[in-house]
Amino acid sequence: MPAWHFSTLVIIVESMDLSDKQHNEDATPWRPVSPGISTLLTKSQARSWALVLDSRSIPCCIAPDGTAWQLLVPEPHLESARRELQLFEEANQSWPPALPATRQLIENTLPTVSVLLLLATFHNLTLVGLSLPERGILDLYELGAAHAASIRIGQWWQCVTALTLHAGPVHLLGNLTIGGIFIILLCRELGSGLAWSLLLASGTLGNLLNAWVQSPDHRSVGASTAVFGAVGILAAISMVRYRHDLQRRWFIPVAAGLALLAILGTEGKHTDLGAHLFGFCFGVFFGTAAEIMVGKQGRPGSVVNALLALSSGGIVVGAWWCAIVFG
């Protein structure tokens, strides 16, 4: 039905002079639609029902009745009008669907901020290097950066270690402030263990795929791949959780995430758009799976959350061990 049809119909039925209706009553009396359906309606309900009847080519008009309204139809169309409106009400009695129950956020802001501060502390370590016996001072930036050629020949750990490195203080500050907001929200939404696991997976796979689509000499560093993974995860959670309420607009949360990617993830001389985009896409994938599982089974318990958090930390430590030993 065209968008203008609604307003045109309302103008016609509301401006109909009742004297004209009475003038025609001798030929065809007009009756209120009543049995099974209330005679007195709100203006909004009367308009909606008038549209339903108009779509079925049943003539009708809306007439004021004190503080309420009546929907009138010619007597020969009375039964068909009642039937159509009853079918309409039955089909829409559970619409719009109730919003899902609000999920209480977990208070884990302090542990999340502590991890972010640990990331900042590690950045300071990369500036001075790491001294090892018989190895001298190691260049952690060189060992941990995601070098496409090295990743392609099996040095997978660079996909992880690159997430803990930053090109400079401005790069680090941006990830800790803007990115920290999304990470804190995600950890409160899913729990620290599950959130950090999904962030690590999104960032790691984003770097891995980016290494295969970039030229062999491509290098990248930064937690922003995981940050945009967080944006994708949050967008997917909203998309899945409110998919019934959004109806055909289910893509809006993801579109908003892509808009955020365009605003924050494409600026800067050394911005790695590919890594940001792939991190976001993997975030959407993992966020969709996580929200479906959490919706059915609930968030992980404290033990599972702790194991996931320890596993995430262990993967990062193990990746750096591989970088130092085999790099």
- Residues serving a catalytic function are 224, 276
User: Which amino acid is present at 206?
Assistant: G
Query: Rounded to a whole number, what is the distance in angstroms from the first to the last CA of the chain?
Result: 65
**Is the peptide bond prior to 59 cis by the omega test (within 30 degrees of 0)?**
no
What is the distance between the alpha carbons of residues 222 and 272, in angstroms, rounded to a whole number?
9
Residues with Cβ within 8 Å of residue 289, at least 6 apart in sequence: none
Residues with Cβ within 8 Å of residue 33, at least 6 apart in sequence: 39, 49, 71, 72, 73, 78, 81, 82, 85
What is the distance between the alpha carbons of residues 77 and 28, in angstroms, rounded to a whole number?
10
Closest CA to 311 of 217, 204, 171, 155: 204
Q: Helix axis angle, 273-297 relative to 252-264, nearest 10°?
A: 150
Query: Would you say the C-alpha torsion 222, 224, 225, 226 has a positive or negative sign?
Result: positive
The one-character DSSP state at 61 is E
Residue 191 · residue 173 · CB < 8 Å: no
Phi-psi label, residue 170: left if phi above 0, alpha if psi -120 to 50, beta otherwise: alpha
Closest CA to 159 of 319, 324, 325: 319
Residues with Cβ within 8 Å of residue 102, at least 6 apart in sequence: none
Q: Which residue has the tokens 């997978």?
A: 156
Please work out, in degrees rounded to the nearest 5, the angle formed at the alpha carbon of residue 202 by the alpha carbons of 174 and 264: 30
User: Which amino acid is present at 11?
Assistant: I
